[in-house]
Amino acid sequence: MKGLQKLLLFCLLSLSVSGTVLADDITIHEYRAQCVVDDHGQAKLTVSVDMSIPTGSVNLDFPIGSGSGGVMSGASCKQVKTEEGSALRLREESGISGRRTFVFSYSMGQVIQDAGEGQKLSLDVIAPGWQWPMEKASFTINLPAPFTGTPTYVGGYRGDLVDDFWTFETTDTSIGGLAGEALLDHDELSVSLELPAGYVTIRSKLAGLITLLLILALGMACAAYWYLRLYAALPRVYLHTAPPRGAGAGDLPLIHSAASPSLPVQLTEWAALGYVQIRMGKKGRVQVERIRPMDRSRSRIEIWAFQNLFAKKDVCSCGSRRFTALCERYGQVAGSWWRKKVFSRRGGSPLLLRAMAAVAVPVAAMGAVLSSTLFGAPRVTVLVLAVPVGFLAGLAVQQGPVAYVRRNWQWMAAAGGAFLVMLVGAKLLGGFLNMAVAMGLQILAGLGTVRGGRRSKFGQAILSETLGFHRYLAHVDRKELEIRLRENGQFFYQLLPFAEAVGQGQTFAKGFGEIRLGPCFWLDGLRKPPRTAEAFYEVYQQLLRRMAGK
C-alpha cells in the first residue's frame, strides 16, 4: 500500500515539474524594440526576441497590445485576440525548442493625439501580456521632429517608480532605455511625452478636411447641373376639381412626381369606366374580366396594354407571371411615351444628378473611417463596405421627399432609417459633420428632382392641372362631397384611382367621414362590402397590393 502511495506521489510531482517547464522555463535572454513614429503620429515597431525554449511548444504568442498588421521574419504567423489585447501566434506542429531569435514588426495607430492645448505621445514599448521573464530589455523611439519635453514612464510591477530600475536617455529626436536588471514575467513598459500643438499632422484631421472639401465640391457640381439643366419654375396652380385631361390614372404618378406609371391603378380606372370588372377572391386572388372593348378615345398606350392584357381570353389573373411582366412592360412603355411628351429634350437627367449627389455619402463614410481609431483589417473591411452601403443609403435618402409628396410612408420610413443609420455610424467613427453635410445634399437632390427634370410647355401645363387637382383633393369640403354623391353615387369610386395616383387617396377618403356610400359596381367578391370611404380605401389598398404581387 505504501509503495502505491509513493508511486502516485511521484506521478503528481512529475506532472507538476513538466507543467512548470512548459510555462515557466522559457526565458527571454534579450528583448529589443525599435520604434519609428512618422509625421502623422503613427508608429511602426520592430521587436527582436532572443529566447530559450527547453521543451517543444506547438504555439508561442508574442504580444503586440493594440497593434495590427504584424508580420514575423522567416515565419508565418497570425494575429489573435488575448486578454491583454492582441498577439502574433507562431505555430509549428513539430514543436518549437532550443535557443531561437524571433524578429517581428507591427503597426500602431495614432500614438500621438491631441491633448488639451497640445499633443501627447502614448506608446507601449513592452506590450502587456509577455508570459516569460526577460534577462535584458532595451528600446529606442525615433520621433519625426525635435522635442523639448521630458518623457514619463510606467512599468507593470513598479508603476511610476520604474526610473529606479531603468536607464533612460533622450536626444532632441529620440528616446531610449535599458533595463538595469532582469524583468519578471508579465512585466510591461509604456512611455508618454507632452508635445506642442501641431507637432504632427494627425491623419484624422487631414482626412476630415479633405472629405469636407470633396463633399462641398460635389455639392457645387450638383447645384450647377441642376440650375443649368434641370431647373424650371413651377407653373401657376389653379384649383381643378377634375383630373388633368388626356391622362389616365395610371399615368399621373409620372406627371405628378416623375414616378413610374402603374398598370394596377390604371386597371381600377378602367373598371370605374366600365371596361372591366374586378373580383377579389378569398385566398387573395384577383381576377379582371373584360366587359366591353376599349374605344379609340383612350390613349394609344392604354389601348396597347388593354389588348395585351386580354389577348388570349376575357379573364386575366393578376397573380400570374404574364400579368406581372405586363405591369413592368407598361411602366417602361408608358413611362418612355410620357417622358418624351412631358420633359424638355434639352433638359438634363434627374438620375444623373441623384447619382452625383449619392457619391457624397460613401466619400463621407470613407472619411469617417479614416478619421476613426480603426486600424488594420477592421479598417480595410469597413472602408470596402462604405462604398456600396453609402451609395445605396444616399439613393434611399433621396427618395424621402418623393415619398412624402406621394404619401408613401413605407419609403419615408426607409429613407429616415438610412438617414439615421449613416449619421449614427459617422458619429461613432468621428465624421458626423461631413456625413450631415452629405445627408443634406441628398435631401436637396431629392427636393430638386421631386417633379423630375425640366419640362416642356405641355409638361408645364399638365403639371399645373395635376397640382390643381392635388390641391382640390387635399382641401375638399364635405358638403361639396355630399352634393357630388347625390348627383353621382359612384363619384368616390370613380375619382379614387386618380386621388391615389397623386398620393391623396387616404386624405380624399377621410374627407367623406361617416357618409354612407352605395355599393361599388366595379369590384366584386367582398363578403361584407364596406359602407364608408375610409373602409373602402383599406380594401382598395389591399387590392393594389395583391395586383402588385405583394
Phi, psi for residue 89 in degrees, rounded to 5: -100, 120
Size (the chain), residues: 550
Tell me what pLDDT residue 5 has: 45
DSSP sequence for 427-483 = HHHT-HHHHHHHHHHHHHHHHHTTT-S-B-HHHHHHHHHHHHHHHHHHT--HHHHHH
What is the number of H-type helices and E-type strands within the chain? 16, 16
Q: pLDDT value at position 24?
A: 52
Percent of the chain with pLDDT over 90: 59
The answer, yes or no, to whether residue 22 has pLDDT greater than 90, is no
Contact between 244 and 474 under an 8 Å Cβ cutoff? The reply is no
Q: Quick one: pLDDT band at residue 85, thresholds 50, 70, 90? A: confident
**pLDDT recorded at residue 2:** 45
Indicate the pLDDT class of residue 205, thresholds 50, 70 and 90: low
Is the model's pTM score more than 0.75? no
227-274 pLDDT per residue, tens: 999 998 888 888 888 999 889 999 999 999 888 999 999 999 999 999
| Interatomic CA distance for residues 476 and 533, integer angstroms | 14
**Structure-block grid coordinates of residue 169:** 536617455
Residue 184 has pLDDT above 80, yes or no: yes
The three cell numbers locating residue 29? 535572454
What is the DSSP secondary structure assignment for residue 164, as one 8-state letter? G
Residue 95: burial class (beta carbons within 10 Å; 0-12, 13-18, 19+):
exposed
Mean pLDDT of the chain: 88
Region 101-117: mean pLDDT is: 89
Question: 3-class SS at 89?
Answer: strand
Judged against a pLDDT cut of 50, whether residue 309 lies above it is answered with yes
User: Please, which pLDDT band fits residue 281 given cuts at 50, 70 and 90?
Assistant: confident
Predicted confidence at residue 234, as pLDDT, reads 83
- On whether the CB atoms of residues 127 and 145 are closer than 8 A, the answer is no
Is the pLDDT at 54 greater than 90? The verdict is no
Cell numbers for 161: 517608480
Higher pLDDT, 322 or 284: 322
Q: What percentage of the chain exceeds 70 in pLDDT?
A: 94
Q: What integer is the mean pLDDT of 528-535? A: 90
- Residue 62 reports pLDDT greater than 70: yes
Question: Please, what sign has the CA dihedral across residues 97, 103, 109, 115?
Answer: positive
Q: If you write DSSP's letter for every residue of 219-284 in order, what string do you get?
A: HHHHHHHIIIII--PPPP----SSPPTT--GGGHHHHHHSPPP-HHHHHHHHHHHTSEEEEE-TTS
Residue 374: predicted pLDDT:
64
DSSP state of 66: T
Q: Do 496 and 265 contact (CB within 8 A), yes or no?
A: no
- pLDDT on residue 368: 84
> Residue 549 CA to chain centroid, in angstroms?
28
- Tens of pLDDT, residues 342-375: 999 888 999 999 999 999 999 999 888 877 766 6
Which DSSP symbol is given to 504?
A: -
Nearest one of 420, 402, 419 to 411, comparing CA atoms: 402
Is the C-alpha dihedral spanning 441, 442, 445, 447 positive or negative? negative
